[in-house]
Structure 1
Amino acid sequence: MNVTLVVPVYNEQLNLNTFIDEFNRHYSKFSELNYNFDIQFVDDGSKDNTAAIIEALANKYVYVRAILFSRNFGKESALFAGLEHASGDLIIPMDVDLQDPFEVVFEMLKKYEEGADVVLAKRIDRGTDTYLKRRSAEMFYKVNNKMSSLKLENNVGDFRLMTRQVVNEILRLKESQLFMKGLMSWVGFDTVVVTYVRPARNEGDTKFNFFKLWNLAIQGITSFSTLPLKIWTYFGGITAFISFLYGLKIIIEKLFFGINVSGYASLMVAVLFFGGVQLIGIGVIGEYLGRTYLETKQRPKYIIKKSINENQRAG
């Protein structure tokens, strides 16, 4: 049974050799279980020496394969590319910073042998993350699972085991605006969860800042739910109904009782409130329209500058 580890990287020169050393430390144990492993690196247009280090590792180790992007296309595209080029019967995406421990892979393989098609690795302790990141992640899962019919398992990232059949179904999905957690969950199949405590990052800093995480969350929600559009439809209808009643009240007062001049402040509050509501509504519509516009362009998800050892299979 061949297993491919899909490892997207971006400016990870400090972690690559340590990752390979840790893999080699477990390699004999994997072989004892009759699994052949290879590693599919995807360099997402790194600006440091990441590409050069990957090439050196590929020349040294037969199980290392890689594709190098022409520029930075983002982790979602890098992960999709890794799945497209993975040769294994089982595929496991994981990070290079050793926050996804190899020990968990053994638990995943055990669950697969028991009949699972997908094995999710769930973090039960996010103590290594900042308070803001923990709270924002918690809020994202709550909001997404309430707004979308697609329910995501809390505190599960890309680290998971998938069979070849599962990956093939994911690759059939044609959208270019990718939210991989959603796509990998959308295809379904028999899914189980293993839990682990996520260690601290080995070297360097995470490449995801708050702005990138915010955009990813928006992309996730808009990719699998139209509820934000419906909310503004309902809100607009309620607001219009209230405005109609208020207008009717003014007409009646004008015809039968006369109207005393109202204050300037109340008028401005009403104008600014409804103007703000309209702009927010237009912004929500714009998010969906913008993603539809990008999808219609049908641009490739990524461009490969160079492939390394791509003709070699797991072994």
Structure 2
Amino acid sequence: MDILILGGTKFVGRHIVEAFLQGGHRVSILARGQSPDELPAPVERLRGDRGEAGGLNALQGRRWDACVDVSGYTPAAVRASAERLREQVERYVFISTASVYAHPERHPVREDDPLLPPSADDVNEVTGETYGPLKVRCEEIVQEVYGERATILRPQIVAGPFDHTARYPYWVDRAARGGEVLAPGDGTDHVQVIDARDLGRFSVKIVEGGIGGVFNLAGPRLSWAEFLQVAGAAPVTWVGVHELRAHSLGFRELPLYLPDNDAQGGLMDVDNSRARAAGLTLTDPAQTARDTRAWSAGAGLEYALSPEREAEVLAALRGA
């Protein structure tokens, strides 16, 4: 099959491109050319920016079996590509997010749960507040244009090699450094991510099977005690929510941590049963940890919680 990827050079897009290549398909990407490109040579590189006039000219006169939109964040950009490609692709797969849900405190979060109010079509600034509403509106546009030919994928936090977000990699890098690990909570809260390679393989299955609809993409749900054991962290000192707040430690310093009873806690309890019924397969969490660490060991990522600050907090807690 002939596949067009909008984006494709960064973390999630790169894994999707590689999954289609591994499936024996021909891949073209449309990218601005501003990010490092380490994709395999057989990938066709098209240049364009759908946010600019004439930014989709490279697509003129071409046809693909499917388009996978990895880089759609604003209604204007998604409408431009969706309408331009209406007669040029058979299926439009939009990579959305689990952040579209209006009640992320629910357990579990399911595809039919209410969504946030959509943003206005002229909103083009992506912030923590606008991200979810923007994606809701982008989903609506894709569904309006493509109907049954639309597929919406809602991944939660994505993990794996090439993850420059410094969220999941913090924990495997911290475990590899050794020494006493400051761990959030008491070990009974939960963490859940989706391996980017599982997202990529599911994208291929959706396209090959012509499967439409909306799918949450989430991996195995682990307790924090299980997760840190998988990451290889030891010894671990658990620090409760109140103590974390007292020392100004939150999601930025201790990424992935959302207490089960948090207002966002349902985002670590995302139901994946619909996607699994459609063919989603999940990588062993231990494999995700090993492969991410093999990459991050040489990636030079920077983290909000420095070793010195972590040691300072642990010392203060011992003296309390």
Q: What is the TM-score when the length of structure 2 is the normalising length?
A: 0.24
Q: What is the TM-score when the length of structure 1 is the normalising length?
A: 0.24
Question: Which of 1 and 2 has greater Rg?
Answer: 1
Higher RCO structure, 1 or 2 (CA under 8 Å, sep 6+): 1
